[in-house]
A and B are shown apart, each in its own frame.
Chain A
Amino acid sequence: NAGVTQTPKFRVLKTGQSMTLLCAQDMNHEYMYWYRQDPGMGLRLIHYSVGEGTTAKGEVPDGYNVSRLKKQNFLLGLESAAPSQTSVYFCASSYFGQSTDTQYFGPGTRLTVL
């Protein structure tokens, strides 16, 4: 049982390049989330998904797109990377989207945009 995994762990991009971050979970969770973590700030929600085939915007969605084609995977895309998107990205999942449900986090991806 690997829990939540993220690929890649590190990435350096040039401004304007695109990339996709992959999140996978093997806990059969319905809900999945993408957060970003910046220095001096807590985690902020980018997008989330309440189930296969669905996505929704979180707190800071601009510049990102997501897809959930399979229940176990949640992809985060940057179409045209900007230096402001330099951050650590975390994926998380939970059984449902209620307060009672603990969110389980992946190990994070450190992205640098030059």
Chain B
Amino acid sequence: AQTVTQSQPEMSVQEAETVTLSCTYDTSESDYYLFWYKQPPSRQMILVIRQEAYKQQNATENRFSVNFQKAAKSFSLKISDSQLGDAAMYFCAYSSGTYKYIFGTGTRLKVLA
């Protein structure tokens, strides 16, 4: 069965600095998708970035980028120039072939002014 692991329950970063959130997954599939969702205090789940497993190039969305290591089954999120508004829970998610998303347990990011 597929699993998603986020081993960092909480992380802190100084404003304007860079932080990396870790995510590892386990699957026997070769084609799948990986996502990072942000959940601010408002509870709204917001898609930050997604990566197709067949693409070797790492996805980038403005200050957010991923480091996708398919062989290592690792999918980390890098946030550059951290802002106070980046403070939130971040969830890593996996999906393969169907509707089903498998979520990690989340990492709470604190941004220090």
Question: Is residue A45 within 8 Å, beta carbon to beta carbon, of the partner chain?
Answer: yes
A42 with B43, Cβ < 8 A, contacts A99-B95, A99-B96 known: no
Cβ A31 vs Cβ B99 within 8 A? yes
Contact for A99 among B32, B37, B42, B43, CB less than 8 A: B32
A43 with B101, Cβ < 8 A, contacts A99-B95, A102-B50 known: yes
Cβ A98 vs Cβ B99 within 8 A? yes
Q: How large is the interface on B (under 10, 10 to 19, 20 to 34, 35 or more residues)?
A: 20 to 34
Chain-B contact segment, one of A12-20, A69-77, A79-87, A103-111: A103-111
Chain A: which residue is nearest B44 at the CB level? A107
Question: Is residue A2 within 8 Å, beta carbon to beta carbon, of the partner chain?
Answer: no
Given A42-B103, A99-B95, A107-B43, 7 more contacts at CB 8 Å?
A40-B105, A43-B91, A88-B43, A90-B45, A99-B97, A105-B45, A107-B42
